[in-house]
Structure 1
Amino acid sequence: GDVAACLCATPNPIAGARCLHVGDMSYQPLASPSYAARFFPEGPSAEAFQKAPAIVFGPHDQLQHQFLAQCGYQGHFPYHLCPSSEGFVRLAMAGIGYGMIPQRQAAEQLQSGQLVSIAPGHGLTVPLYWHFWRHSGQLIQRLTERLSHLTL
C-alpha cells in the first residue's frame, strides 16, 4: 500500500514531505525484579552487561547500544530479537532479558512492581516526528493539525 504519513525518530523529511516534532518518548532499561536481582545485584556494570541477555526490537534498533554507551559500556552483549512491542514487554516480565521500554507502555507494570529499572536514573529520550506529504489531502492535513496541538 501507499504511505500517507508516519511517525519516526528522524527529523529529516524526504523530498516532497514535511516534518513536525510532536513530542518525545522516554525509554527506561527495564526487567523483571528476579532478573534484575540475578544479573544486576550491584547495578549496571561491564561484567553484568557482558552476561545479561538484553531484548532488542530489531537489527537496526540502536536504543540498547545508546543506553550501554550512556552507562560507559561499549562491548558486546548477548541479546534476543523481538520485533513486537507487546512481546517485548512480555519477555521482560518473564525474565528472559532486559530492554529499553517506553515508560508510558510500562507504566502499569512499573506501578505493580512487575518491572523494575536495572539502572535507576538512566534512560533515553527519543524525539518523535510526524512526516507527511506536502500535498496529502484534507484528512492528513486535519490529522496533522490535531497532532500539532497535542503534547506526547
Structure 2
Amino acid sequence: MPATAATARQASVTALRFGRAASMGALAALILFAGVWGSWGTAQHVMLTKGRERGTVKVTRCDGGTCSGPFTPQSEGAKARTRVEIEKSVAVRKGETYDVVLKPGTGDALRCGPAGILYAWLPLGGALLLASVVVAGGMRLMRVAWVLGLTGAGLLTAAFAAVR
C-alpha cells in the first residue's frame, strides 16, 4: 500500500473518531440541558422563595393527579387560603402537613425545603444518568461517565430519602 493511501486511511479514521466524539458530546450536552430545563420550572420557585408566599398545607383531599387542602401562611404578605393544590406523588400523603411555597398568581403549591429542592431537581438526576451512558458509549470517557452517573444516582437517592 502506498504511503499516501495509508495516510488517507489514518486521516479518515481520525475524522470519524472526532465526528463520533463531537456528535455524542453534543447529544450529552442536549440531554443535560433538557434535564436542567425540565427541573428549573419548579426549582426556581422552590429555591428562590424570597418574596413568594410561603406556608404550610394540610392535605385533606386527593383525587386524580392532585391533592388539596387549606394553606396557612408563614411569610410576610402571604394570605390564608381555604384551598390550594399540590401535585399528587409519592411525596404527598393525605392527612400530612407540608411546608410549601405558592407559584406566583396561582393556587398551586410546591414543597419547599431540602425535600422540595431535591424533588424539583429529579429530571436533572435522570438526565445525568442518561448522559453518562452516552458519554461512556459514544465518547469513551469512562471517568467522566462514572462521575455523571454517580452524581445522578446520588441525586435520585437523596431525593427519594428526603421525600419519605
Q: Scaled by the length of structure 1, what TM-score is found? A: 0.32
Kindly indicate which of the two structures has a greater share of residues assigned to strand: 1
Q: Scaled by the length of structure 2, what TM-score is found? A: 0.30
Larger-Rg structure: 2
